[in-house]
């Protein structure tokens, strides 16, 4: 495989690829308490054409409302340090979310993270701040709505 260009990657590299692909990890980013719409899995996990199924009522209610109150999004940070799990995310002076996973991206040399963000702060390109080690680090939402 090495002759074909394969290489050994570290756990941190796989974690960065997972975060950059917006793939949530069970136990870190998602649990049985999350709705499919919160974790950007509507296309993969929900049928709006199928007949009755277990859990259809809350799914249909959210579809009728038009949105959930929070959504899992990717963040690209402008500088180190890598934020800890649970780090607060801010828009202006308002806390709008929390980091669920983070790692230093080997591609950019900068931190990337997954975070649950309140509706209104989830659009790709939105500029936010993440509190990491007591300092605010500029961050941009990627692959949000």
Read off the CATH number of the domain in which 100 is found.
3.30.1360.120
**Rounded CA separation 119/82 (Å):** 24
Residue 96 lies in a domain: yes
* Domain total of the chain: 1
Q: Tell me the DSSP string of the chain.
A: -GGGT-----HHHHHHHHHHTT---BTTTB-TTS-GGGGT-HHHH--SSS---TTHHHHHHHHHH---SEEEEEEEESSSSPPPTT-EEEETTEEEEEEEEEEE-TTTSSEEEEEEEETTS-STT-EEEEEETTEEEEEEEES--
Q: What does the pLDDT profile of the chain (145 residues) look like in tens digits?
A: 888 888 888 999 999 999 999 999 999 999 988 887 888 766 666 777 777 878 788 878 878 887 889 999 999 999 999 999 999 999 999 999 999 999 999 999 999 999 999 999 999 999 999 999 999 999 999 975 4
33 in a structural domain: yes
pTM above 0.75, yes or no: yes
Domain that holds residue 85: 11-142
């Amino acid at each position: 495989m090495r002759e074909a260009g394969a290489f050994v990657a570290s756990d941190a590299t796989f974690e960065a690829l997972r975060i950059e692909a917006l793939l949530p990890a069970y136990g870190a980013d998602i649990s049985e308490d999350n709705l499919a719409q919160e974790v950007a899995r509507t296309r993969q996990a929900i049928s709006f054409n199928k007949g009755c199924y277990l859990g259809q009522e809350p799914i249909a209610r959210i579809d009728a409302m038009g949105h959930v109150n929070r959504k899992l999004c990717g963040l690209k940070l402008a500088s180190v340090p890598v934020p800890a799990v649970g780090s607060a995310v801010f828009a202006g002076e308002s806390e709008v979310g929390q980091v669920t996973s983070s790692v230093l991206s080997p591609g950019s040399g900068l931190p990337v993270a997954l975070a649950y963000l309140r509706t209104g702060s989830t659009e790709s390109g939105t500029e936010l701040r993440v509190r990491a080690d007591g300092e605010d680090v500029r961050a941009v939402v990627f692959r949000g709505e």
